[in-house]
Structures are given as C-alpha cells and as structure tokens.
Amino acid sequence: MKRPMLISIFFCSGFVCGLLSCNSNEDSLQNRKIALGKRIFQDTTLSEPVGQSCATCHTITKGFADRESRMVSEGAVRGLYSQRNAMTVCYSAYVPPLSFDNDEGTYVGGLFWDGRSVSLQSQAGEPFLNPVEMGNPDTCFVVEKICHAPYYAELIKIYGKTSNKDSLYTYITDALAAYQQSDEVNPFSSKYDAWEDGKYTFTDSECRGMELFKDKAMCAECHILDKDERAGRVLFTDHTYDNLGIPRNPENPHLRIPADYFLLTPDSVDLGLGSVVGREEENGKFRVPTLRNIALTAPYGHNGYFKTLEEIVHFYNVRDVGNEFPPAEYPATINRDELGNLGLTSEEEADLIAFMKTLTDDFKPVQK
C-alpha cells in the first residue's frame, strides 16, 4: 500500500522541481532582456547623427527625465527641439492602454503626454524615428546600427537570428520595454514607501503636507492614494487627462525651429489628447503624470513652463486669483474644480512640497 504513495510523492516533488526550474529559466531570460534593454537605452550610437540615447532625455539621476533639466529636450540634430517636456519613464510600466471610461466620462491611460502610444513596446520604438528626437529616417536604419553594436550577439542569443528587419526592430523594442519594467526604473524605494512599510516616520511638515495633499490641496483627486492592483503600491496618478490652464511658454525653443519640424498648431497651441482622439472637448488636456520622483524632474508641465516645484504648486494654489500668471494656452477646457483658488498659505505650500519630496526614490532607511 505504501509504494503508490512513494511514487506519488516522487512524482509531485519532481513536478514541483520542474516548475521551479521553468520559473528560474523564465527569470533568467527576463533578466537578460533587461540587461540588453539597458544597453540599448544608453547607446548613443543609435541616433542620427550619433550622440543621443534614450537616456539623454531619461536619465536615472533625474528621475528618468531630461539629464540637463531642460524645458524641452534638444534632438540629435542640433537646433531641433521637441515641443514637450521629457516625461519621466519611471513607473510607466503601469500605465494602461488609452481607453474611454464611460462611468467617469474621461479618457484613461496611453503613453506620452497625449496618450498616443498603447504600450511600452510601441512607445519605445517612436523616439528613434522622431526627426526632432533621435532622427533616424526609418526602422531599417536603426536595425543596421544594432547589427553592428557590441551587444548584437546577445540579442540573437535571446531572440534568435533573423534577416527580417521588422522582426529585429520588434526585438529591440521588446528589450527596451523589458528594461522599462525593471526594478531599476520602478524601484518603489522612496521615504513614502519606507513609511508604508513602517521603516520611516514622517516629519511634522511632511505629515501636514500629506493631510493637505488628501484634503485642502485636492491633489489626491487625480494623484490618487489608492494602491495600484498590479504594482501593489501607490502610483500617485489615476492616468486620466486634464487641462491645468498652463500658460503658453514663450521660452520654448520648439517655437523657433524650421516649419518642416514644427509640431504645434499654426497659432502655436499644443492640443494634447484632443489631437489624438479627434475630439475638440479634449483639446489642451494632457495625461496626469505620476508624482513619484517629482522633486527630480523639473521643469514642470507639458511645455516646461514652471522651473521649480515651488512655482507649479503656487500656480495650482492661486491660478485664478488676480493676474499673477498669464492666461492659459488653451482656455476652453480648463479644470476649474480642483485647482486655481485653493486658499493655501505659504507655509501650507511648503508643507505640501515637503510631502512631495518624500516620493523621491533611493531612500535608505536607518537600520534599527
């Protein structure tokens, strides 16, 4: 009677070992993709002319935003500038595809400021071909460069050899997407995370700031404090779209580039989501970004209008009070319910900023 039981135990343990081995192999493959994706992300030979990489505009020490903290980034071709501020890629792995929420009556998700890209992989392929970014004429041009890169052999080991250029481009963007899903890009290692784990105690100012964030300042209306189901952590965004009433930025160098590269309307307005979904009522709206690493990613706003965190917090507070700020770039769709006249004191603004600074990654809790 005991023999079948022994066989059963042996079979089950072998099955479990097989599953563990399978999972281990999958983890190893994913780690290799991440390492490859990081090399591609940092490769300055993949622009035309050479000299610019993904990391130029998304640098780790700047919260994966522009390495020089420029309002908009200059492309590989000198003098050509993007029309928008380089959005952080931190935590973009958790942004859902663009869709319309019928219950809330709003668009949700999609990558870039305007939501035009449906996935990390499709997003990763766009900057290579953007004439005001990395400047390559087509995907074949990028693939040819990759074929001569020192990591090409590793790419073939991971994905397999092929002469199909489209397949190779898919491998490139898949590796980049793997890196953008990695712990390095999504570390959840801020004071706030340590506080949630019971490893950090907020200062009085940070505590007051968090209460303001949830209540009087109304930040949590869009930068929500609910934990994301996939991340298991707070992302500080609901991925929706808003027109904050940000003024036109006359200092934006994109306004002075040649007409062939100009990406705004003839009267220099950025229509944001409206230009993607083709609906006038969505004009001037941009995706609500995560506030994680917000202290590192200045300047702020889709056009980089605000140079400091203090400036944009003050704007949220008093936009509709007096004439301290110029009129909105696109006035028709401004959010007038959740910002503009918050009634915060200067001390409360400072407390709110103190709380936002707890969202900066790479905090090392004191070991007790």
**CATH code, 153:** 1.10.760.10
Token pair of 359 as six digits: 């969202």
* Residue 262 resides in a domain: yes
Q: Which two tokens stand for residue 212?
A: 């303001």
The Cα angle at residue 213 between residues 116 and 105, in degrees rounded to 5: 40
Please report the DSSP string for 265-290 in residue order. -TTS---BHHHHHT-GGGTTBEE---
19 belongs to a structural domain: no
| Whether the Cβ atoms of residue 113 and residue 302 lie closer than 8 Å to each other | yes
- Has residue 110 been placed in a domain? yes
pLDDT at 366: 84
Residue 305 lies in a domain: yes
Structural domain range at position 288: 28-186+218-343
Q: Please indicate, yes or no, if residue 289 is contained in any of the structural domains.
A: yes
Helices 2-41, 152-159: inter-axial angle, 10-degree rounding: 150
Domain contains 232: yes
> Is 358's pLDDT higher than 90?
yes
Nearest C-alpha neighbor of 182 from the set 298, 294, 39, 366:
39
Domain count, the chain: 1
* Mean of pLDDT over the chain: 94
pTM score > 0.95 for this model? no
Q: Looking at the domain assignment, is residue 48 inside a domain?
A: yes
User: Strands, DSSP E only, in 206-352?
Assistant: 241-242, 286-287
For residue 272, tell me if it sits in a domain: yes
Average pLDDT in the 252-281 region? 97
Query: Is the predicted pLDDT of residue 296 greater than 90, yes or no?
Result: yes
Q: Is the predicted pLDDT of residue 1 greater than 70, yes or no?
A: no
